[in-house]
Structure formats: structure tokens, C-alpha cells
Structure 1
Amino acid sequence: MNDADAVKALGALAQGDRLAAFRLLMQAGPDGLASGEVAGTLAIAPTRMSFHLTTLERAGLLVTRREGRRIVYSVAFEKMRGLLGFLTEDCCGGHPEICGVSSRLNQEDC
């Protein structure tokens, strides 16, 4: 991950509703949730939630798939791991274990 991609991803997460949606989708795992489910769970108007989910998708943090009439969002786990790795790669002089970074960041799935 480069600086520009990290800034874009962090900027997308730097808003309360988007951060809450991202965390909810992290909990949902690879199956994800439909946008209406995210909006309902977080008590956010569906049109506003759609805007926030699109922002996260454009930042590369979410992926979508269509299931009939529903659009299902899920976390782009590889991109999320890349962001976490980018943030910690220089931690403590190249010793990320000091920062408490789990070795799971290098695994293929969560």
C-alpha cells in the first residue's frame, strides 16, 4: 500500500457513521450485509447509509455483490490487512511485535 491509498482509506474511516458501518461489516465477515441491514442495525437513514457505504467502497475498503435486488457489502479484507500492515510496518524500528501487532495480519483470512 502506498501513502495515497492509505490516506484515502483512513479518510473514508474518519467519520462516525462510516466507522460504525465498517466495524459492523467486519463482524459480519465475508458474507457481509445488505445496505438496508447495515442502515437498520445502525439506525441510519438508508439513503445516508448508501452514501457512506459507497465512500468506503471507493476507498477500496468494501466490495459489493448483487443478490437479486439487494446490494451486499463486505469488507475487502486484503485491503484492510494492507492498511494495518502499512500503519505498523515501521513500528518500533522494524519490530512490530513491540506494538502488539498480531502475526495474523500476514494470514490470508481473518
Structure 2
Amino acid sequence: MDISKTIADLKKEPGFSQNVGMLLVHNGVVRAWSRKDRSRVSAIEVTPDYQALEEIRKRFEKRPGIFRIVVKAARGLLKPGDDLLFIIVAGDIRENVKPVLADILDTIKRDAVVKREIP
């Protein structure tokens, strides 16, 4: 996913300039160490549930002040430094946009993506 192109496309959507005052972007990347004990990780195997991702995206997009949410999750064997998860939240003001990014990220990680670390 090309973040710059995706943002440029979002800006072309009807109603964007009338409804958006903030874009927040999450770009999750594969770490070379495990979150639980900081042991070395050479790769991770990622299995996203794309149907669950879409349901989550739609649910959060209904929150007050949110114009659009874009979610892209990688699948397969990924190495440290590889892009893992992109989330773009476009909305009216920071008080509406910031909590949505945090909440959707936590929900996706908990409910829609399975990762297996490979030492």
C-alpha cells in the first residue's frame, strides 16, 4: 500500500474538504524482537481475518466526526522492517480522530490479526 497515494485519493473523495481536518496514520512494522521478552525474531507469520477487519473498519467509521477509515493488513511471512498494518483515520477534529485510531488499532490487534513469531 502506498500511503501517499492513498491519502491523495482520499483527498479527492467528495466531501473530504468539508469534513476532514485531520488524518492520522498508523504504519505498523515487524520488529526484530519479541514484545513479551525482547528475544530475537527473524520473521513473523501473519494471518489477518479480512472479513473481521472490514466489519471493524465499518463499525469505527460510524463514530462521530469520522469521514473515512482505510485498513490494509499484510498476510504471510514477513521479516523485520516489513510493513505489517496500515490504518488511516480521516475525520473532523483531533478529539474525534485520535481516540478512534487508538481504539481501532487495539481492536484489530486483538480480534482480527494472528501473528506467530519465528526466532
Q: Give TM class, smaller chain.
A: under 0.3
Per chain length, whose mean CA-contact separation is higher, i.e. which structure has more relative contact order (CA < 8 Å, sep 6+)?
2
More strand by share: 2
Point out the structure with the larger helix share.
Answer: 1
TM (norm. structure 2) is 0.26
